Each structure stands twice: as C-alpha cells, then as structure tokens.
Chains A and B, each alone.
Chain A
Amino acid sequence: MIADLIEAVAKILFIFGVNMGFFAPVLGWVERKQSAVMQDRVGANRADIFGFTLIGLLHPVADTIKLLTKEDFIPAGANKLFHTLAPFITLTPALIAFSVIPFGGQYEIYGHTINLVIADLDVGILFIFAFASLSIYGVVLGGWSSNNNWSFLGAMRASAQMLSYEVAMGLAIIGVIMVYGSLRLTDIGAMQENFFKWGIFLQPIGFILFIACATAENKRIPFDIPEAETEIVAGYFTEYSSMKFIMFWMAEFLEMITIAGIITTLFLGAWHIPFISSKMLLSLFSFAGANGATILVMLTNIATFFTKIIFMIWFQMTIRWTLPRFRYDQMMKLGWKILLPLSLINIFITGLVLLL
C-alpha cells in the first residue's frame, strides 16, 4: 500500500515535472524559434546571462520574471470573481488530463509491479474528454466577464468552435476503440506492439480526423479564429495581463502535449519501437541482470514515448506556421458538414471491415 502510494506520487511528480517544468516553458521558446526558422528570421536570441544566450533558451526564464512583476489588471466593469476564475478553470483541466495517458508499459522490478500510468482507469480516454469539455468554461467565462466586445466575440466564436469539433473528435476515435475493444489507454497501447497493428495503419481516416479536430479544439492555426489578432485583438483573453495571460498559453501548450500523448497512444504505437518487441529489448539488455534489464527496457520505452510526443508537437507547430487561417463559416462548415459525416462513415466502414 505504502509502496503503491510512493509509486503514484513519483509518477505524478515525474509527469508534472516534465510537463510544467520542461514542456510548458520550452514550448514557448520552440514556438518562437521554429516560427523564426521557418520564416527565415533570427528570432528569440536577446535574453542573456553574462553574454550567454544559449540560442534563446533563457527567454522562458526572462518571460516568467517579467510576467510575474507585471500588474495583474482587472478592467472596470469586469466581474472580478469570474475574471480570476477563468484562467484557473482553463489551466487546471489541462494539467490533469495527462494523468490517464500511459508513458510506458507494465514492468516487474524486484517483485513490485510498476504500471507507468498515473491512473489506469476503465473509462480511459473518456476521462480526458471529460476534462477537455470543462476547459470551455474558462473560455466562455473569460470572454464574458471581461466586459469587452472583443473578448465576448472571441469567447462566442471559441465556444461554438470547440463544441462543434468536440463532437467530431469524439466520433473520430470510435473506430480506434472498435478495433482495440477497450477505452483503457494502457490496453490500447499494449496491443500495438506489432508495428503493423499501429492505429495509424488500422485507422488512417480516424488519424487524420482526430488531428484536425484536436487542432481545432486547441484553437491553433488554421482554426485560431477565436483569437485572430487581425480581427478581434486577442479574442477572449484580450483583457488579461501578467501571469493570468500566460496561463491561457500554458493551457494551450499543455493541451498540445496531451493531444500529442493521445495521438501517440492511439495511433503511433504508444511506447513501442517499430519492429522491436519487448522480448528483443529484454534479451538485448540481458547483460544487466533480470531486474537491470527490465529497468533499461522501461527507460527505453519512456524515451521512445517522449520522442514520439516531441515529434507530434513538432508536427503541430509546423502546421501552425504553415497554414493560413480559415474563415469562420468555412470552419463551421468543415466541422459539421465534412468531419462529422466523415467520422460517421468511418465508423460504418470500420464496422463492416471488422465483421467481414
């Protein structure tokens, strides 16, 4: 019991450290640096300590200090309670959603079974959807409570968009669940040991649908109409300043990580390396003894998982800096008239193929 609790806390601290301590700040830098590289600019390279700029890696530190010392500003006429609550409601679900994503398999070390997922729930992916559906309140409340036309317009656009794409996103993964027969993400991950049983091969349409919907759900270009600077300043978080402003951004980055995690688990073989089964890895590391080999396999799997996540994050960044923005009517049309019917057809075809 005590060992289980220690294990749980260790896993939580690990995920928390990686997400909040590494990904969230570093992604802020990656976003700027990658846009700079793609647009042939020099980009974030000004912040330095004694002349060392570390290719701009000190910018997240500088940003944090700067944002912390900025005024926390609530405009007159705003609803103070909800104005403060909105970033909280946005960030908290984004932090929690990752807890059902497995970052490795099950290992037995010194007689203690380690399951590399914070919470191995029966409802699995529904847990993520449940918390993702809560983050919409942050957007609606943030826009509504600011008492600003731009904020309110942004909030309305954002919420309608998120609702539209949540439907298609939920339906897009039904095919995957049908194929693997489980909502439990650890099960789905474990079933993809064989390279040709990866979700991306069994559910190619579902993969494309899910990426499109997830990008829209996270309100990133090409679906960033709720925060389109050229039209409505910054959308629902126009009236936010200091760390509250950056909390919306942190939530976006964390959602990117979660999306990358879901895609990796459902479609890209979770923690497995293509063509190399766990047994092969185990025999490869056999020089370290039974327990040592298991630990090495575990570390390899974790590294594989995070490599895939980083790849998917890079992919999302590249999409953001490659495509132009949709018009609002185009976007709603895409969601309801193309993605939704397509995902229904995908379910039908998957059912037929599985039955035959």
Chain B
Amino acid sequence: MFYILGAGAVLSALSMVTNKRPVSAAMSLIVTMFCLAGLYVLLDAHLIAALQIIIYAGAIMVLFLFVIMLLNIQEKEGRLAGHKIFLQFSGIVIVGYIFIKVVKLIGGSNLPARMEGSIKGFGTTSAVGEMLFTDFLLPFEIASVLLLAAMVGAVILAKAKID
C-alpha cells in the first residue's frame, strides 16, 4: 500500500513539474495531495489526513486554480528562456545538494525504522487537540494573528481593483 501511494505521489509530482499546461499541473498536484493523505492514514495520523484533503486539496488548490484561470496564462515559454541550460544546471545542483543533505539527516539520526504497536489513540482528533491547546498554545494563538495578516494583505492587494 505504501509503495502504491508513494509511487502515485512521486509520479503525479513529476507530472506537475513537467506539465506545460497550468491547469493540468494543478490537477496533478491535487493527485499528489491525495496520495499524501493516504500516506498519513498509513502513519495513523487520521486527523492530519482529513485536514490534508480539506485544506490542501480542497481549499488551497482551488485558490491556485482560480489564480490560473484569473490570469489565464497561456502555454508560453518563460521569460528566462535564454538562460535555459544555466537554469537547468543550477536547478539540478541545488536539488541534488538538498537531496544529499536529507539523506544524511535521515541516515544520521537513529529514528526507529518502524513504530511497533503505535501509541493508543495516536493521531486521533482528541490527541492532536490536547497537544495543540496545551503545549502548543502560543503557536496556535499566533496562527490567528497570521491569518488576520493574510486577510489584511489580501484586501490591500485587491483594493486597487475594487475601488
């Protein structure tokens, strides 16, 4: 099951990156989100899985689609077409560097390969909530300030068009 979902996530992510049409790319990203939600379920993180679909697939990707349709980007070459080889080369270098670092990080830490018999109630709504509303209270309240800032920002960005 893990391999099916993992392969699905990787393949759809690849198709997102390589797709020239923005709408197709966005739809591929939704498939990626969906596969990730499946992986969360495999990890016993039930609430996170549901929220992954609600927030990422259901809300943020709708926003992306709206932006794509709003701007109505045609299938064009990017403005940086002239430096294509240089860009591709630097892209590969950066991604490769990050990949090596991540591999080192995972290899260096002694994470248990697999949690045997997960903690009872792990990943359920009440378990997540208990953590969120006691230990992580400050981040939670700061999140509301962040959301407020996002609202103000959205209005200011769009204000010129409304007036």
A–B contact at 8 Å CB threshold (below): yes
Known: A130-B53, A133-B57. A122 touches B62 (CB 8 A): no
Stretch at the interface among A20-28, A103-111, A136-144, A260-268: A136-144
Alpha-carbon distance A35/B58, docked complex (angstroms): 34
Q: B2 at the A/B interface (Cβ < 8 Å)?
A: no
Known: A122-B124, A122-B125. A163 touches B62 (CB 8 A): yes
- By size class, the interface of chain A is 20 to 34
- Cross-interface CB contact of B125 among A82, A141, A183, cutoff 8 Å: A183
Asked if A134 and B58 sit within 8 Å, CB to CB, the answer is yes
Asked if B23 and A82 sit within 8 Å, CB to CB, the answer is yes
Alpha-carbon distance A268/B33, docked complex (angstroms): 35
Q: B73 at the A/B interface (Cβ < 8 Å)?
A: no
Q: A42 at the A/B interface (Cβ < 8 Å)?
A: no
Contact mask for chain B residues 61-99; partner A; CB cutoff 8 A; 1 contact, 0 none:
010011001000000000000000000000000000000
Beta-carbon nearest neighbor of A152 in chain B: B69
A116 to chain B, nearest CB (A): 21
| B residues 25-48 touching A (CB-CB < 8 Å) | 27, 30, 37, 46-47
Q: A121 at the A/B interface (Cβ < 8 Å)?
A: yes
Known: A133-B53, A133-B54, A133-B57. A123 touches B66 (CB 8 A): no
Contacts of B54 in A (CB 8 A): 126, 129-130, 133
B interface majority secondary structure? helix
Beta-carbon nearest neighbor of B68 in chain A: A144
Known: A134-B58, A136-B62. A144 touches B50 (CB 8 A): no
Asked if A130 and B69 sit within 8 Å, CB to CB, the answer is no
Residues of B that sit less than 8 Å from A by CB: 23-24, 27, 30, 37, 46-47, 49-51, 53-54, 57-59, 62, 65-66, 69, 124-125
Cross-chain pairs A/B with CB under 8 angstroms, 10 sampled:
A81-B24, A85-B27, A122-B46, A123-B46, A123-B49, A123-B50, A130-B53, A133-B54, A133-B57, A140-B65
